Chains A and B, each alone.
Chain A
Amino acid sequence: MAKIHVTATINGEEAEFLCEPQQTMLDVLRDELSLTGSKEGCGSGDCGACSIIVDGRLVCSCLMFGAEAAGTDIMTIEGMAQGEKLHPLQQKFLEHAALQCGFCTPGVLVASKALLDRHPNPTEEQARYWLAGNLCRCTGYDKIIEALMDAAAEMRGE
């Protein structure tokens, strides 16, 4: 089958790629665009390691076709730091040791950013529910939540 030509904005820059009709956005990011920060944990929407933000909405890139990216504005984990300067969430995750193996971390960070974009002052409960689709085998989640809440406070200037 013919490949589909797609143009989208990825991390603020125009990107063009060719993809197979059945190729997922996660496959496109990793295999066509060499953006390997997004991870494949399950491929079925359960783990959140592949989380990206599409037109302001958090989605699993493993449950989206690459062809659907046409004309959208996408943010991946690679778009989070500004050059060498880490995003406050990234910085706080390091300070709080909110990662061990790190496999879940890109997805957790992108999901956390999506939360703070919408709700700069979340309650802990809100944060836990928001991240229910991001599985972590290592940390037990408490450190992730602590880092997220700390970053939120810092970003609010508290």
Chain B
Amino acid sequence: MLGATGARPLSGGTDLIVQLKSGRNRPNAIVDLKKIPGMIGIEAYKGGFKIGASTAGAQLGENAALVKAYPGVVEGAELIGSTQVQGRASLAGNLCNASPAADSVPCLAAAGAIAVVVGPDGEREVLVEKIPVSPGKTSLKAGEFIKAFILPERPAHASDAYLRFIPRTEMDIAVVGAGVNIVTDGAGTITAATVWLGAVAPTIVQVDASCLVGTKLDDAALAKLDAAAQAVCKPIDDKRGTIEYRTKVAGVLARRAAAIALKRAGER
């Protein structure tokens, strides 16, 4: 049914229904994915997690095992909107709405999350960062939708963090978002680091975080990360922030999120 031209999948509707009302999106059919078994819920999977694509943000925060393993992924998802929005908004909707400022996406990408895509040609697994291609556009083909997200098994002494900057404390669109995933050797030295930024380019962008590997996040490593983050920014100028401002904030947030992720990795 989704293959029919002009049909749209529905998860929480917190983007789609707003767009229907404004006339920005005019589908001729809407398919409520939540009625399909497996689209909602969180289960242990291959040492990590499988999250039904339409699972609401609030449910992620209520899953203690997920919060412990991937606090950054959960904090990104929980930043989406108000309590009311949290009752419906899903990871799939956040990703497929393809806003560069989508809050759950940088940490999902940093975690190496995989989207399980189903469609007329069967099932395929795609890295999360390959789904959005430009504002409002995804790489999904006609009739395809995301069924679930897979979060890989967590090594010991690894964690993540997401920080966003907004002019208010709640209910606003990110000026910059930074998701950082860090693996350590257990003694505080970083063995792997992945950093993605949101809202500073047409899609999320990856920061070269190789400067962190082998360090304990000393000042020199942080300065290099700051510079690497600023180097990948191609932001827009708007009322929420100028190009210079967004670029500078990206460096600051990357540093701070890395410090939080490292601290959390030490506590696991």
* B-binding residues in A (CB < 8 A): 21-22, 24, 43-46, 48, 51, 54, 57-60, 62-65, 67-68, 111, 114-115, 129-134
Contact = CB atoms under 8 A, between A and B. Distances in A.
Range for the number of chain B residues in contact with chain A: 20 to 34
A132 B171 contact: yes
Interface string B27-45: 0001010100000000000
A68 B17 CA distance: 12
Contacts of B170: 129, 132
30 contacts: A44-B18, A44-B21, A45-B14, A45-B18, A46-B171, A57-B56, A57-B87, A58-B83, A59-B87, A59-B88, A62-B17, A63-B14, A63-B18, A64-B13, A64-B17, A64-B88, A65-B13, A65-B17, A65-B30, A65-B32, A68-B13, A68-B34, A111-B83, A111-B84, A114-B83, A129-B83, A132-B82, A132-B83, A132-B171, A133-B85
A46 B87 CA distance: 14
Given A54-B87, A65-B13, A132-B171, A48 B21 contact: no
Interface in B166-186: 170-171
A57 B82 CA distance: 12
Mostly, the B contact residues are mixed
B14 A67 contact: no
Nearest to B88: A59
Given A46-B171, A64-B88, A67-B32, A22 B83 contact: no
A130 B32 contact: no
Contacts of A114: 83
Nearest to A71: B35
Contacts of B82: 45, 48, 132-134
Interface secondary structure of A, over-half rule: mixed
Given A63-B14, A65-B17, A68-B32, A45 B87 contact: no
A63 B82 CA distance: 13
A63 B171 contact: no
Nearest to A111: B83
Contacts of A24: 17
Contacts of B171: 46, 132-133
B58 interface: yes
Contacts of B241: none
A64 B81 CA distance: 15
A67 B171 CA distance: 27
Given A22-B20, A132-B171, A60 B84 contact: yes
Contacts of B18: 44-45, 63
Nearest to B169: A132
A156 to B, nearest CB: 21
Given A46-B171, A132-B170, A59 B84 contact: yes
Contacts of B13: 63-65, 68
Nearest to B22: A44
